[in-house]
Amino acid sequence: SGSMTSSSSSGSKGAAMVWRMVLMACLAGMVSAAPPVKPHIVFVMVDDFGYYDIGFRNPLIKTPTLDALVQNEAALFERHYVFKYCSPTRRSFLSGRLPPHIGGGDNSASATVDLRMHTIADKLNSAGYQSHMSGKWHAGHDVVAQTPHGRGFNTSLGYFNGACDHYTQKDSEDGCGTVTDLWNTDRPGVGLNGTYGDYLYAGRAVETIENHNPSVPLFYYLALQCAHDPMEAPDRFTSMFDGSTCPSVVEYAFSSVIDEAVKNVTEALKSRGMWENTLFVLSSDNGGPAFSDQHAASNYPLRGGKYTLFEGGLRVTAFVSGGVLPAAMRGVNIPAPVHVCDWYATFSTLAGVDPKDDAPGIPSIDGMNQWPVISGDQTEPIRTEIFLADGCLIQGKWKLLTGNAGDESWSGPLYPKVPATKGEPLKYPALFDVEADPEEHNNLASSNPEIVSNMTARLKTLEATDFNPAKPQIPKGAICQRTLENGGFLTPSDWSPSMLSQKNTERPVQQ
């Protein structure tokens, strides 16, 4: 019996040891797969960035910082989707909703995120983040509550509308004549105008990072003005390109401005010892304006561009970098489809807050946490369906277009010096396999009637869920009146200088 006792006790010891090893292995696995805790988050939204207008795709363009990041320190998204133009993409990012659920194609001066919704800044603030932004807003300014500071950003410096002069910050989108569109957190940006826009906006980002306490999680949203028209770039950037060989000197110079902005911001993060604990994301807001606006960007090899529902309008250059990106995911491509609204759920999850944002009368978020795909823990796509816009649906590899999707041309590598190519006029509904044929050359609708029928029915169901945000009712002419009173600086209808003396400097966090 003695031997039995000893053998059973040694057996249980052995079993315990095995279990301990298994547990340690599991814990080690969990540690390697565990998402970072409250990393600093920097999101750079480039304006109108052509798919081909970056150095690692186009050897004529000079973007050494972006190229090195993508090659060595970033995961590049093969299918990162946005709306076909400005404001809807920005509202989607801020709200975590697909564009049809946040006002669809509204690109007006009054386009807004519904005030009943919490923005990603609100979400991150509730987790102890300090949120800041600079650059283009284009998400509402009729009343102060719609401005960046009203939507959760501790500080901001930027312009409210879709475009303005790069040097003077002047625009006329509100119908008040020509005004100076520059707002500094809670007041007109008096005395700050007159400098090249992206110098201002990237400069504010660098200054904020330099003055930030690294022990507090930072969220910075940098919405660059380049590469949007008007066609203005500083001489030191245009002089980098030879007009005799370069298809568009200013378009190419825009890319180099963007590159330097990213260089300055990433270097600031590194010098503050913050880069190792940063998630850095860059995305364009839409495809390059090849056949609209400046008619200069190239989205080669994709079809279409800004304002179209082809991949050249909706599939954009985007990557994720920073020290929290697992080493194994640096220098690789992510084929899984991602939508810009997914960053809301991804950032919320990394911050340790529930991404849910439900309230009576508004749609729930559409965003999905993409961290398992970004971290390499999962290769299966998290998102199998994207309701990109009315008339456009993606399911896995399939993309359905039910009606006129816009200019059907392809811009080549030397566009606009070499004209775009056109194919046979497209027959709708059109069906493309955008995995095998991202350039959308082969309309497969006639050979896949069942897929077309099912996707058309699904799209009709989704289109019935379209939602338009409530807009503040303001007296006619109130914005123009306030703007006039404030030296011609574009001013929300309910702002007055007395707000500065009575307000608490910190905005209370919405729960």
Q: Which residues form the catalytic set?
A: 86, 138
Name the 3-class secondary structure at 224: coil
* Helix 249-271 × helix 197-210 angle, to 10°: 10
Rounded to 5 degrees, what are φ and ψ at 434?
A: -80, 0
Rounded to 5 degrees, what are φ and ψ at 345?
A: -70, -35
Alpha helix stretches (DSSP H) within 187-296: 197-210, 235-238, 249-271
- Which has the closest alpha carbon to 205: 284, 291, 269? 269
Is-contact 96 366, C-beta < 8 A? yes
Is-contact 105 306, C-beta < 8 A? no
Written as six digits, the tokens of 352 are 């340790």
* R_g over Cα of the chain: 24
Distance of CA 455 to the CA centre of its chain: 27
Strands (E), 98-169: 130-136, 155-159
The alpha carbon torsion through 363, 368, 369, 371 (nearest 10 deg) reads -150
Name the 3-class secondary structure at 283: strand
Is-contact 103 112, C-beta < 8 A? yes
Name the 3-class secondary structure at 31: helix
